[in-house]
Amino acid sequence: VKTLIRALLAPTLLALVSCAESTPPLNVVLIVIDDLGWIDTGVYGSSFYETPHIDQLAARGARFSQFYTASAVCSPTRASLMTGKHPARLDITNWIGGEQNGLLQQATYERQLPLEETTIGEAFRDNGYATGYVGKWHLGREGFMPELQGFDFTATVNHAGQPGSYFSPYGNEDSPRTAVPDLEGDSAGSYLTDRLTDVSLDFIQRNRDQPFFLTLSHYSVHTPLQAPEETVARYDRKAAALGPETEEHYESERDASTKLRQDHATYAAMIESTDESVGRIVEKIRELGIEEHTVVVFVSDNGGLSTLMRKSFNQATANMPLRAGKGWLYEGGIRAPLIVAAPGAPAGLDIAQPTTSNDLYPTLLELAGLTQMPEQHLDGESLASAIFSQGGTAERPLYWHFPHYHGSGNRPSGAIRWGDLKLIEWFEDGSFELYDLSADLGERRDLVGERPEDAARLLSELRRWRGEVGANMPTPR
């Protein structure tokens, strides 16, 4: 069956992926980080956070500089990763559990990933892969968990978006709503990021002699902000060298406040622990001798938490030069890191093609030499050609639909990027903004008055697309 499947693929890509009968099928490790901002790693421009292992992964693979998550919050993006469909098409448009209203009543949305969807886990499992899911799910409660969505092995999965604590017993006694299942071998004070990595390494070890697809979905770097004290202390000293944080390190974003400087020691320590996890995964793959037939993907589910309704001096990070952060459809909320290290692909590639989390489903199928499923991943396009430096996909519009309020201060909105132009529509009053990202990455100069025809064209296309996918809208209260 695999021989027939591979015969259908492009000949050049066949030679680079795994066409020969003697070549083992490619394994896939998908590492999903929660709330990691676009410049929260060294390779993407941070000078405060230390991420040598993530930087090394980018050096041997492809770094996408214009990658977008399908949403500004977690559950919708995770749904897009699992299905290759836009969250608006799935009607999973908010983080599951979000209930905030304002001038408008937020749009209705689904609280679980439908079992009728053929998830990426099911696609790999049905092709003979061992499948594993470790960590955050946040796509439904019992009856919709990953073991029913194509993953034969699961661990530390709960229905909530964060743990009660990052230290064992993970706050379970005090925070039953966010309870994370204990792991065999946990001891008091075990750090969750480390333990998720331990379980993932064990899965890789057990399945080294057969093709496997593993999703390691870290809770980190989502709140609560907690990390080992000795690591925090080191970053405290680093932050102190920058001087005290003042009002100048914040700016207003409507009714909210945005952090402008990366200096949060605990958040930095959480990133370092996450980086160590990536290093351990890559080292295990190398140790087992399967590096030449294992794809490693590193991705975040939305932008960094830089913007909150209150000026708390506790925002996790800064996304400068991007505007705003998690929860917003400005670049800071939806532009995120994506690194793909695939055997045989050019090293150190910087891909500037605008891409989205919808694209990972067909991309990983093609990299693994499996048949595309266009009826499933309707809203994604394979990036395999770009990863192998054979050209990207044709220019296409990218869409966002977030008909909800958020604790970051965002109001219900939608957005479209087409070429270098990006339009944001605000649903409360029907107003809209237009930016040229090639000249104004920080989205400071609204061009609606200067380029009304472009604004009208993008607005018309955004509204047409909402009708096509049946996007739910907020309603008057």
- pLDDT of 346-355, one tens digit each? 999 999 999 9
Direct distance between the N- and C-terminal alpha carbons of the chain, in angstroms, rounded to an integer: 56
CB 113 within 8 A of CB 151: no
Tell me whether residue 327 is in a domain: yes
467 occurs within a structural domain: no
**Confidence bin at 312 (pLDDT 50/70/90):** low
| Burial class of residue 407 in the structure, from the number of CB atoms within 10 Å of its CB (0-12 exposed, 13-18 middle, 19+ buried) | middle
Give the amino acid at 284.
K
For residue 438, being part of any structural domain is answered with no
**Which of these, 299, 285, 318, 228, lies nearest to 54 by C-alpha position?**
299
- How many Cβ atoms from other residues are within 10 Å of residue 334's Cβ? 31
Structure tokens given for 345 = 């692909």
pLDDT at residue number 24? 76
Question: According to the model, what pLDDT value does residue 98 have?
Answer: 94
Report the share of the chain in percent with pLDDT over 70: 94
Q: Name the token pair of 441.
A: 């990455």
Could you tell me the CATH number of the domain that includes residue 175? 3.40.720.10
d(CA 290, CA 176): 40
- Region 328-337: what's the mean pLDDT? 99
CA 327 from chain centre, in angstroms, equals 13
- In the DSSP assignment, the letter for residue 462 is H
Asked if pLDDT for residue 280 goes beyond 50, the answer is yes
Q: Give the number of domains in the chain.
A: 1
pLDDT at 240: 97
Is residue 323 a part of any domain in this protein?
yes
| 105 pLDDT above the threshold of 50 | yes
| pLDDT > 50? residue 5 | no
Q: Please list the residues that pair with 158 across neighbouring strands.
A: none
Q: Is the pLDDT of residue 20 over 70?
A: no
> Ramachandran region of residue 143, left (φ > 0), alpha (ψ -120 to 50) or beta?
left
Which range of residues forms the domain containing residue 56?
2-394
Residue 417 lies in a domain: no
Those residues with Cβ within 8 angstroms of residue 249's Cβ, 6 or more apart along the chain or in another chain? 259, 260, 261, 263
Q: Residue 313: its pLDDT value, please?
A: 62
pLDDT of residue 183: 85
- Check residue 181 and give its pLDDT: 84
| Structural domain includes residue 441 | no
Which band of pLDDT confidence, cut at 50, 70 and 90, is reported for residue 311? low
Q: Quick one: tokens of 226?
A: 């907690």
Amino acid at 104: L
Chain segment 205-255, per-residue pLDDT in tens:
999 999 999 999 999 999 999 999 999 999 999 999 999 989 899 999 998
DSSP per-residue string spanning 413-449: EEEEEETTEEEEEETTT--EEEEETTT-TT--S--TT
Residue 254 within any structural domain of the chain: yes
Q: What is the pLDDT of residue 158?
A: 83
Residue range 261-271: mean pLDDT, rounded: 98
Q: Does the structure show a pLDDT above 50 at 107?
A: yes
Mean pLDDT over each residue of the chain, to the nearest integer: 93
| Residue pLDDT, tens place only, 432-459 | 999 999 999 999 999 999 999 999 999 9
**Above 60 in pLDDT, residue 19?**
no
Q: Which is higher by pLDDT, 310 or 185? A: 185
Buried b (16+ CB within 10 A) or exposed e, 346-374: eeebebebbbbbbbbbbbbbbbbbbbbbe
Domain assignment present for 147? yes
Task: Identify the residue with better confidence: 188 or 418.
Answer: 418
